[in-house]
Amino acid sequence: MTSPFAVSGNEQRFVDAARDLAPGFAARAHEHDAEATVPVGNLTALHEAGLDMAAMPEERGGSGLSYQALGEIFRVVGKACPSTACVWMMHLGAAQALVSYGPPVYAEALRAGKRFANALSEPTGGNLFLMPLQRAEPADGGHVLDGAKRFVSGCEIADHFLVNALLDDGPAFFGVSRDDSVEMVPIWDSMGLRGTRSQLVHFRKTLLRSDNRCRITDPLAPNIIALGLPWLSIGIAEATLDALTDHARSRVVPSTGRPVGDMQWVHFDAADAHVKLLAARTLAERAMWLADHGDPGTLPAAVEAKLYANQVAKDIAEFALRVGGGSGYLRTSPIQRHFRDAQAGALMAFSTEVCRDMIGRQLMGTVEA
Protein backbone atom coordinates (compact mmCIF):
# COMPACT_ATOMS: atom_id res chain seq x y z
CA MET A 1 0.00 0.00 0.00
CA THR A 2 1.28 3.46 -0.84
CA SER A 3 2.04 5.78 2.07
CA PRO A 4 -0.47 8.66 2.39
CA PHE A 5 2.61 10.88 2.51
CA ALA A 6 4.10 9.63 -0.78
CA VAL A 7 5.03 12.22 -3.42
CA SER A 8 2.55 12.04 -6.30
CA GLY A 9 3.70 10.64 -9.65
CA ASN A 10 3.48 13.94 -11.54
CA GLU A 11 5.70 15.68 -8.97
CA GLN A 12 8.31 12.95 -8.89
CA ARG A 13 10.29 14.65 -11.69
CA PHE A 14 11.06 17.56 -9.37
CA VAL A 15 12.32 15.20 -6.68
CA ASP A 16 14.35 13.30 -9.29
CA ALA A 17 15.93 16.58 -10.45
CA ALA A 18 17.11 17.25 -6.89
CA ARG A 19 18.36 13.66 -6.53
CA ASP A 20 20.40 14.06 -9.73
CA LEU A 21 22.07 17.18 -8.35
CA ALA A 22 22.69 15.83 -4.84
CA PRO A 23 25.94 13.86 -5.45
CA GLY A 24 27.63 16.99 -6.85
CA PHE A 25 26.40 19.04 -3.88
CA ALA A 26 27.71 16.42 -1.42
CA ALA A 27 31.09 16.36 -3.16
CA ARG A 28 31.51 20.13 -2.64
CA ALA A 29 29.99 20.39 0.87
CA HIS A 30 33.30 19.99 2.67
CA GLU A 31 34.90 22.76 0.59
CA HIS A 32 32.04 25.24 1.20
CA ASP A 33 32.29 24.50 4.92
CA ALA A 34 36.08 24.80 5.09
CA GLU A 35 36.22 28.00 3.06
CA ALA A 36 32.87 29.44 4.27
CA THR A 37 31.73 30.11 0.71
CA VAL A 38 28.14 30.38 -0.49
CA PRO A 39 27.40 27.41 -2.78
CA VAL A 40 26.41 29.67 -5.67
CA GLY A 41 26.85 26.95 -8.30
CA ASN A 42 24.46 24.65 -6.42
CA LEU A 43 21.84 27.38 -6.12
CA THR A 44 22.14 28.15 -9.83
CA ALA A 45 21.74 24.46 -10.63
CA LEU A 46 18.54 24.29 -8.53
CA HIS A 47 17.21 27.29 -10.43
CA GLU A 48 18.16 25.82 -13.81
CA ALA A 49 16.42 22.56 -12.88
CA GLY A 50 13.20 24.59 -12.57
CA LEU A 51 12.94 24.10 -8.82
CA ASP A 52 12.64 27.81 -7.89
CA MET A 53 9.47 28.42 -9.87
CA ALA A 54 8.14 24.93 -9.13
CA ALA A 55 7.56 25.95 -5.51
CA MET A 56 5.58 29.08 -6.41
CA PRO A 57 1.76 29.25 -6.69
CA GLU A 58 0.25 28.37 -10.07
CA GLU A 59 -1.66 31.67 -10.27
CA ARG A 60 1.72 33.45 -10.23
CA GLY A 61 3.26 31.25 -12.91
CA GLY A 62 4.71 28.54 -10.66
CA SER A 63 3.95 24.82 -10.60
CA GLY A 64 2.25 24.92 -7.18
CA LEU A 65 4.47 22.09 -5.96
CA SER A 66 2.97 20.36 -2.92
CA TYR A 67 4.61 20.84 0.45
CA GLN A 68 5.08 17.06 0.61
CA ALA A 69 7.27 17.10 -2.52
CA LEU A 70 9.11 20.21 -1.37
CA GLY A 71 9.91 18.57 1.97
CA GLU A 72 11.38 15.57 0.20
CA ILE A 73 13.51 17.90 -1.96
CA PHE A 74 14.76 19.80 1.12
CA ARG A 75 15.67 16.45 2.70
CA VAL A 76 17.65 15.36 -0.35
CA VAL A 77 19.45 18.71 -0.69
CA GLY A 78 19.97 19.09 3.08
CA LYS A 79 21.55 15.67 3.32
CA ALA A 80 23.96 16.51 0.51
CA CYS A 81 24.85 20.09 1.51
CA PRO A 82 22.94 21.71 4.38
CA SER A 83 24.30 25.19 3.64
CA THR A 84 22.79 24.95 0.16
CA ALA A 85 19.48 23.75 1.62
CA CYS A 86 19.42 26.57 4.18
CA VAL A 87 20.18 29.41 1.74
CA TRP A 88 17.79 27.95 -0.82
CA MET A 89 14.99 27.56 1.75
CA MET A 90 15.39 31.21 2.83
CA HIS A 91 15.46 32.27 -0.84
CA LEU A 92 12.26 30.33 -1.58
CA GLY A 93 10.58 31.53 1.62
CA ALA A 94 11.26 35.19 0.84
CA ALA A 95 10.26 34.63 -2.80
CA GLN A 96 7.04 32.86 -1.76
CA ALA A 97 5.95 35.89 0.30
CA LEU A 98 6.91 38.45 -2.35
CA VAL A 99 5.60 36.48 -5.34
CA SER A 100 2.31 35.60 -3.59
CA TYR A 101 1.57 38.90 -1.86
CA GLY A 102 3.73 41.50 -3.63
CA PRO A 103 3.65 43.06 -7.12
CA PRO A 104 4.09 40.81 -10.24
CA VAL A 105 7.66 41.99 -10.73
CA TYR A 106 8.87 39.46 -8.13
CA ALA A 107 7.63 36.42 -10.07
CA GLU A 108 9.47 37.74 -13.14
CA ALA A 109 12.63 38.29 -11.09
CA LEU A 110 12.54 34.77 -9.66
CA ARG A 111 11.97 33.27 -13.09
CA ALA A 112 14.97 35.23 -14.38
CA GLY A 113 17.21 33.74 -11.69
CA LYS A 114 17.36 36.68 -9.29
CA ARG A 115 18.14 35.79 -5.69
CA PHE A 116 16.04 36.48 -2.60
CA ALA A 117 16.86 36.58 1.11
CA ASN A 118 14.93 36.95 4.35
CA ALA A 119 16.00 39.97 6.41
CA LEU A 120 13.66 39.54 9.36
CA SER A 121 15.59 38.79 12.57
CA GLU A 122 16.65 41.86 14.52
CA PRO A 123 19.67 42.10 16.81
CA THR A 124 17.36 43.00 19.70
CA GLY A 125 14.40 40.89 18.59
CA GLY A 126 16.00 37.46 18.45
CA ASN A 127 13.41 34.76 17.95
CA LEU A 128 10.51 37.19 17.78
CA PHE A 129 11.12 37.87 14.11
CA LEU A 130 7.42 38.32 13.33
CA MET A 131 7.24 41.24 15.78
CA PRO A 132 9.82 43.76 14.54
CA LEU A 133 10.83 46.43 17.04
CA GLN A 134 12.49 48.70 14.49
CA ARG A 135 10.17 51.44 13.31
CA ALA A 136 10.08 52.71 9.75
CA GLU A 137 9.13 56.37 9.43
CA PRO A 138 6.72 57.70 6.78
CA ALA A 139 8.46 59.19 3.72
CA ASP A 140 7.67 60.06 0.11
CA GLY A 141 6.69 56.83 -1.67
CA GLY A 142 6.62 54.70 1.48
CA HIS A 143 8.59 54.46 4.70
CA VAL A 144 12.25 54.76 5.61
CA LEU A 145 14.02 52.10 7.66
CA ASP A 146 17.23 52.85 9.52
CA GLY A 147 18.11 49.61 11.26
CA ALA A 148 19.76 46.20 11.05
CA LYS A 149 18.73 42.60 10.51
CA ARG A 150 20.85 39.72 11.66
CA PHE A 151 21.81 36.30 10.30
CA VAL A 152 20.52 36.91 6.76
CA SER A 153 21.44 33.68 4.96
CA GLY A 154 22.77 34.22 1.45
CA CYS A 155 22.52 38.03 1.79
CA GLU A 156 25.72 38.68 -0.15
CA ILE A 157 24.27 37.22 -3.34
CA ALA A 158 20.71 38.52 -2.84
CA ASP A 159 19.06 40.89 -5.30
CA HIS A 160 15.87 41.27 -3.25
CA PHE A 161 15.22 41.15 0.48
CA LEU A 162 12.02 40.43 2.36
CA VAL A 163 12.19 43.00 5.16
CA ASN A 164 9.86 43.61 8.10
CA ALA A 165 9.42 46.82 10.06
CA LEU A 166 7.04 48.34 12.54
CA LEU A 167 4.67 50.93 11.05
CA ASP A 168 2.03 52.99 12.86
CA ASP A 169 -0.54 50.29 12.06
CA GLY A 170 1.67 47.36 13.17
CA PRO A 171 4.27 45.02 11.62
CA ALA A 172 4.59 45.16 7.82
CA PHE A 173 6.62 43.30 5.17
CA PHE A 174 8.28 44.82 2.11
CA GLY A 175 10.39 43.77 -0.83
CA VAL A 176 13.63 45.76 -0.90
CA SER A 177 15.95 45.70 -3.90
CA ARG A 178 19.63 45.82 -3.19
CA ASP A 179 21.08 49.33 -3.49
CA ASP A 180 23.81 51.46 -1.87
CA SER A 181 21.77 51.90 1.31
CA VAL A 182 22.02 48.15 2.04
CA GLU A 183 25.29 47.29 3.76
CA MET A 184 26.59 43.84 4.77
CA VAL A 185 28.58 43.46 7.95
CA PRO A 186 30.65 40.25 7.92
CA ILE A 187 29.86 38.66 11.31
CA TRP A 188 29.43 35.08 10.04
CA ASP A 189 32.48 33.19 11.23
CA SER A 190 30.19 30.48 12.56
CA MET A 191 30.52 27.02 14.01
CA GLY A 192 28.28 25.31 11.44
CA LEU A 193 26.33 25.99 8.25
CA ARG A 194 29.32 28.10 7.34
CA GLY A 195 28.39 28.28 3.66
CA THR A 196 25.20 30.21 4.45
CA ARG A 197 27.26 33.34 5.24
CA SER A 198 24.35 34.68 7.29
CA GLN A 199 25.65 38.21 7.84
CA LEU A 200 24.30 41.29 9.57
CA VAL A 201 22.58 43.60 7.08
CA HIS A 202 22.28 47.31 7.79
CA PHE A 203 19.49 49.22 6.10
CA ARG A 204 20.74 52.82 6.15
CA LYS A 205 17.73 55.03 5.61
CA THR A 206 16.46 52.51 3.06
CA LEU A 207 13.16 53.32 1.36
CA LEU A 208 10.50 50.66 1.91
CA ARG A 209 8.41 51.45 -1.15
CA SER A 210 4.63 51.30 -0.72
CA ASP A 211 4.25 49.61 -4.10
CA ASN A 212 6.58 46.82 -2.89
CA ARG A 213 4.58 46.22 0.27
CA CYS A 214 3.77 42.60 0.73
CA ARG A 215 0.24 42.26 2.07
CA ILE A 216 0.67 39.10 4.09
CA THR A 217 -2.75 38.67 5.65
CA ASP A 218 -1.69 35.95 8.10
CA PRO A 219 2.04 35.71 8.94
CA LEU A 220 1.30 32.40 10.68
CA ALA A 221 -0.22 30.79 7.57
CA PRO A 222 1.65 27.72 6.18
CA ASN A 223 4.89 28.85 4.62
CA ILE A 224 8.00 27.31 3.14
CA ILE A 225 10.35 28.19 6.00
CA ALA A 226 8.22 27.04 8.93
CA LEU A 227 7.44 23.79 7.11
CA GLY A 228 10.89 23.36 5.57
CA LEU A 229 13.08 23.72 8.66
CA PRO A 230 12.37 20.23 10.09
CA TRP A 231 13.61 18.78 6.78
CA LEU A 232 16.92 20.59 7.05
CA SER A 233 17.59 18.82 10.35
CA ILE A 234 16.35 15.49 8.97
CA GLY A 235 18.74 15.77 6.01
CA ILE A 236 21.66 16.51 8.34
CA ALA A 237 20.67 13.64 10.65
CA GLU A 238 20.54 11.19 7.74
CA ALA A 239 23.96 12.27 6.51
CA THR A 240 25.29 11.86 10.05
CA LEU A 241 23.83 8.37 10.44
CA ASP A 242 25.37 7.33 7.11
CA ALA A 243 28.77 8.72 8.12
CA LEU A 244 28.76 7.05 11.51
CA THR A 245 27.64 3.75 10.01
CA ASP A 246 30.50 3.84 7.48
CA HIS A 247 32.95 4.53 10.27
CA ALA A 248 31.49 1.89 12.61
CA ARG A 249 31.76 -0.79 9.93
CA SER A 250 35.28 0.01 8.83
CA ARG A 251 37.17 1.11 11.95
CA VAL A 252 38.61 -1.82 13.93
CA VAL A 253 38.92 -1.14 17.67
CA PRO A 254 42.45 -2.12 18.77
CA SER A 255 41.28 -3.44 22.17
CA THR A 256 38.68 -5.85 20.70
CA GLY A 257 40.12 -6.49 17.25
CA ARG A 258 36.56 -6.02 15.93
CA PRO A 259 34.80 -3.16 14.10
CA VAL A 260 33.31 -0.40 16.30
CA GLY A 261 29.89 -1.38 14.99
CA ASP A 262 30.15 -4.84 16.62
CA MET A 263 29.81 -3.41 20.12
CA GLN A 264 26.46 -3.75 21.81
CA TRP A 265 26.18 -0.11 22.88
CA VAL A 266 26.55 0.86 19.21
CA HIS A 267 23.75 -1.55 18.21
CA PHE A 268 21.44 -0.08 20.84
CA ASP A 269 22.15 3.55 19.98
CA ALA A 270 22.02 2.87 16.23
CA ALA A 271 18.57 1.34 16.64
CA ASP A 272 17.41 4.34 18.67
CA ALA A 273 18.84 6.72 16.06
CA HIS A 274 17.14 4.87 13.21
CA VAL A 275 13.73 4.83 14.90
CA LYS A 276 13.97 8.48 16.04
CA LEU A 277 14.81 9.50 12.50
CA LEU A 278 11.80 7.59 11.15
CA ALA A 279 9.61 9.31 13.75
CA ALA A 280 11.03 12.75 12.91
CA ARG A 281 10.38 12.13 9.25
CA THR A 282 6.82 10.98 9.91
CA LEU A 283 6.08 14.12 11.96
CA ALA A 284 7.48 16.30 9.17
CA GLU A 285 5.51 14.41 6.50
CA ARG A 286 2.37 14.83 8.60
CA ALA A 287 2.91 18.60 8.80
CA MET A 288 3.34 18.72 4.99
CA TRP A 289 0.17 16.65 4.51
CA LEU A 290 -1.82 19.02 6.74
CA ALA A 291 -0.44 22.03 4.84
CA ASP A 292 -1.36 20.48 1.50
CA HIS A 293 -4.90 19.85 2.80
CA GLY A 294 -5.32 23.38 4.18
CA ASP A 295 -5.72 22.08 7.72
CA PRO A 296 -5.79 24.75 10.46
CA GLY A 297 -3.54 22.52 12.58
CA THR A 298 -0.63 22.93 10.16
CA LEU A 299 1.44 25.45 12.11
CA PRO A 300 1.27 23.58 15.45
CA ALA A 301 2.23 20.41 13.53
CA ALA A 302 5.18 22.22 11.93
CA VAL A 303 6.35 23.43 15.35
CA GLU A 304 6.13 19.86 16.74
CA ALA A 305 8.00 18.49 13.73
CA LYS A 306 10.72 21.15 13.96
CA LEU A 307 11.25 20.62 17.68
CA TYR A 308 11.65 16.88 17.30
CA ALA A 309 13.75 16.96 14.12
CA ASN A 310 16.16 19.51 15.65
CA GLN A 311 16.62 17.36 18.75
CA VAL A 312 17.05 14.14 16.77
CA ALA A 313 19.74 15.75 14.60
CA LYS A 314 21.64 16.82 17.72
CA ASP A 315 21.22 13.39 19.39
CA ILE A 316 22.49 11.53 16.34
CA ALA A 317 25.39 13.97 15.97
CA GLU A 318 26.42 13.28 19.57
CA PHE A 319 26.21 9.53 18.95
CA ALA A 320 28.29 9.93 15.79
CA LEU A 321 31.01 11.72 17.72
CA ARG A 322 31.18 8.82 20.20
CA VAL A 323 31.35 6.27 17.38
CA GLY A 324 33.96 8.35 15.57
CA GLY A 325 36.19 8.69 18.61
CA GLY A 326 39.35 10.69 17.93
CA SER A 327 39.09 10.02 14.18
CA GLY A 328 35.64 11.62 14.04
CA TYR A 329 37.00 14.64 15.88
CA LEU A 330 39.50 15.40 13.12
CA ARG A 331 38.79 18.01 10.44
CA THR A 332 39.25 15.26 7.85
CA SER A 333 36.18 13.40 9.13
CA PRO A 334 32.67 14.26 7.86
CA ILE A 335 31.40 13.53 11.39
CA GLN A 336 32.75 16.76 12.88
CA ARG A 337 31.07 18.83 10.15
CA HIS A 338 27.75 17.08 10.63
CA PHE A 339 28.07 17.61 14.39
CA ARG A 340 28.57 21.36 13.90
CA ASP A 341 25.82 21.66 11.27
CA ALA A 342 23.38 19.70 13.46
CA GLN A 343 23.38 22.44 16.12
CA ALA A 344 21.95 25.13 13.81
CA GLY A 345 18.37 23.92 13.40
CA ALA A 346 17.68 24.24 17.12
CA LEU A 347 18.86 27.87 17.11
CA MET A 348 16.85 28.97 14.09
CA ALA A 349 13.49 30.54 14.80
CA PHE A 350 11.46 29.26 16.30
CA SER A 351 14.23 27.85 18.50
CA THR A 352 13.62 24.57 20.31
CA GLU A 353 13.03 26.49 23.56
CA VAL A 354 10.42 28.70 21.92
CA CYS A 355 8.79 25.63 20.29
CA ARG A 356 8.67 23.86 23.64
CA ASP A 357 7.20 26.95 25.26
CA MET A 358 4.50 27.21 22.56
CA ILE A 359 3.55 23.53 22.85
CA GLY A 360 3.71 23.52 26.65
CA ARG A 361 1.59 26.67 26.98
CA GLN A 362 -1.03 25.13 24.73
CA LEU A 363 -1.08 21.94 26.83
CA MET A 364 -1.31 23.84 30.10
CA GLY A 365 -3.86 26.33 28.82
CA THR A 366 -1.57 29.18 29.85
CA VAL A 367 -2.84 32.59 28.76
CA GLU A 368 -0.57 35.57 28.06
CA ALA A 369 0.07 37.67 31.21
Ligand X SMILES: Cc1cc2nc3c(=O)[nH]c(=O)nc-3n(C[C@H](O)[C@H](O)[C@H](O)COP(=O)(O)OP(=O)(O)OC[C@H]3O[C@@H](n4cnc5c(N)ncnc54)[C@H](O)[C@@H]3O)c2cc1C
353's enclosing H/E stretch is helix 352-364
120 binds ligand X (CB under 6 A): yes
231 binds ligand X (CB under 6 A): no
Q: If we measure between CA atoms, which residue out of 174, 89, 171 comes closest to residue 130?
A: 171
Closest CB to ligand X among 90 and 335? 90
**Can residue 344 be called a binding residue for ligand X (CB under 6 A)?**
yes
98 binding ligand X? (CB under 6 A): no
User: How far apart are CB 89 and ligand X at their closest, in Å?
Assistant: 9
* Contacting residues for 350 by C-beta, under 8 A, at least 6 apart: 127, 303, 306, 358
Among residues 66, 68, 134, 153, the one that binds ligand X under rule CB under 6 A? 153
DSSP string, 105-138: HHHHHHHTT--EEEE---TTTTT-TTS---BEEE
Q: Report the number of secondary-structure helices (H) and strands (E) in the chain.
A: 12, 10
Phi, psi of 199 (to 5 degrees): -85, 170
CB of 90 to ligand X, least distance (A): 4
Asked if 158 is part of the footprint of ligand X (rule: CB under 6 A), the reply reads no
In the complex, least distance from residue 228 CB atom to ligand X, rounded to whole angstroms: 12
Region from 204-212, 328-336, 342-350, 360-368 binding ligand X, contact rule CB under 6 A: 342-350
Among 64, 104, 113, 126, binds ligand X (CB under 6 A): 126
**Least Cβ distance, residue 205 to ligand X (angstroms):** 20
Q: How far is residue 74's CA from residue 235's CA, in Å, rounded to a whole number?
A: 7
Figure out which of the listed residues 129, 161, 173, 308 binds ligand X, where binding follows CB under 6 A: 129
- The full length of the chain comes to 369
For ligand X, the closer of residues 153 and 212 by Cβ is: 153
DSSP assigned state of 187:
-
Q: Tell me if 232 contacts ligand X by CB under 6 A.
A: no
Task: Give min distance, CB of 192 to ligand X, in A.
Answer: 7
What is the DSSP annotation of 229-291? HHHHHHHHHHHHHHHHHHHHHHPEETTTTEEGGGSHHHHHHHHHHHHHHHHHHHHHHHHHHHH
* Residue from 46, 55, 152, 172 in contact with ligand X (CB under 6 A): 152
Binding ligand X by CB under 6 A: which of 66, 121, 134, 212?
121
Long-range contacts of 183-188 (CB under 8 A, 24+ apart): 184/155, 184/156, 185/148, 187/150, 188/36, 188/151
Where along the sequence are the contacts to ligand X (CB under 6 A)?
A: 86, 90, 118-121, 126-127, 129, 149, 151-153, 193, 196, 198, 344, 347-349, 351, 353-354, 357
